Amino acid sequence: SSGINAEWPLRPGGNMGLRVLLLVYMFGLALVGTVGNIIVAIATLNPVNFDIDKATLLLIRHLAVADFLYTLTTHCSILLSGLGGNHWILGPQLCYIFATFRWIPGTAGHLIILTISIHRTWTIQNPLQPAVRCRVIVGVTALIWIISLTPSLSAVGVGATACFDDVIKTCASTFYTMIEYKTLLSLLSFLFLLLPMLLVLGLNGLLLVISLRHKLSYRGLRTVIFVCGLFILTIMPYNIAVIIRALNGHVNVAFELFYGYVYPLNSALNPILYTYTNRQFREMLVTVCRKHVFPKQSTSF
């Protein structure tokens, strides 16, 4: 990335109005991404309150956990950097940890959305088949989390360090700038970013065509299509940048700033989409908020 700067810490600078605007933006994403995904994870623990099958709810719960972890390592770190005067304030060790291991929840989220798309497409095409057992989904999600270690372990294996990225205002791995490992980085980007996006796009296109052709009002279909659609829209700019770099092209700094702040929308807006597209989610989120977030105070003495 052309925005990576090796100075430690980076001197404050830049347009003050833009900095304030980005701080407000990242605060909103951090708030929704943390609180919203925690509430979603709690709400899905009681599947009897939803008309979505248990397997999909389990996948949504794991997606909420991945989105929560990604929010902590990305949105919150950018927010802290902005509040700290546009430089990293948590020390070089945490810079390395955040930069190297944020790939884990990011990769897991991509693969979980792909799994949701595969599961729902298979279900809608085979309505008479028995539902997928939750123990199968537990095994699949465990495998997803293990596979998601691959990019981070690759960065550790090649000896990548971390430094502050002046474009997106957080720590980034130097894996991105290690020319000798460009082929490996391109392969990882294809396997865990571009390929999942293309498969999700194709599967949800098929899902939409089938539902419209047969006039199906399938349970949870709207939620799945909206979540996967958001995934495609937010990840596509980053994939375009990856393709440009793979072709030895230069990515404009303004475009880096654009995809750097569009990409995190995926993990923060998912809880909003759940509540917008599904009545049971709205009701359960209100119930969870009343019980756990804003409990009524007892008036008895």
Q: Convert the pLDDT of each residue in 82-130 to its tens digit.
A: 777 767 888 888 889 988 998 999 899 989 999 988 988 888 777 667 7
Task: Output 139 or 77, whichever has higher pLDDT.
Answer: 139
Residue-level pLDDT at 215: 61
Residue-level pLDDT at 66: 94
Does residue 201 register a pLDDT over 70? yes
Residue-level pLDDT at 69: 93
Residue-level pLDDT at 134: 83
Task: Output 224 or 199, whichever has higher pLDDT.
Answer: 199
Token pair belonging to 55: 């397997």
Model confidence band, residue 13 (pLDDT cutoffs 50, 70, 90): very low
Cis status of the peptide bond prior to 9, with omega within 30 of 0? yes
Q: Are 228 and 200 in contact (CB under 8 A)?
A: yes
* Most confident region among 139-148, 216-225, 227-236 by mean pLDDT: 139-148
Rounded alpha-carbon distances, angstroms, from residue 243 to 127, 186, 258, 259, 295 = 39, 8, 16, 13, 49
Place of tokens 């407000």: 24
Residue-level pLDDT at 15: 61
Burial track 95-125 (b if 16+ CB lie within 10 A, e otherwise): bbbbbbbbbbbbbbbbbbbbbbbebbbebbe
Beta bridge partners of 168: none
Rounded alpha-carbon distances, angstroms, from residue 264 to 72, 146, 163, 186, 256 = 11, 22, 20, 21, 13
**Taking residues 40-57, what's their average pLDDT?**
78
SS3 string, 97-140, reads: HHHHHCHHHHHHHHHHHHHHHHHHHHHHHCCCCCCCCHHHHHHH
Token pair belonging to 7: 């100075």
Residue-level pLDDT at 216: 57
Q: For residue range 230-246, what is the model confidence (pLDDT) as tens digits?
A: 777 887 887 777 667 66
The overall average pLDDT reported for the chain is 78
Model confidence band, residue 177 (pLDDT cutoffs 50, 70, 90): confident
Burial class for 244, CB neighbours closer than 10 Å (0-12, 13-18, 19+): middle
Token pair belonging to 259: 């995809």
Does residue 248 register a pLDDT over 70? no
Residue-level pLDDT at 161: 92
Does residue 300 register a pLDDT over 60? no
C-alpha closest to that of 244 among 194, 199, 202:
194
Rounded alpha-carbon distances, angstroms, from residue 16 to 10, 11, 30, 78, 127 = 16, 14, 21, 16, 56
Global confidence as pTM = 0.81
**Taking residues 272-284, what's their average pLDDT?**
74
Percent of the chain scoring above 90 in pLDDT:
16
**Taking residues 216-232, what's their average pLDDT?**
68
Model confidence band, residue 143 (pLDDT cutoffs 50, 70, 90): very high
C-alpha closest to that of 74 among 239, 251, 266, 209:
266
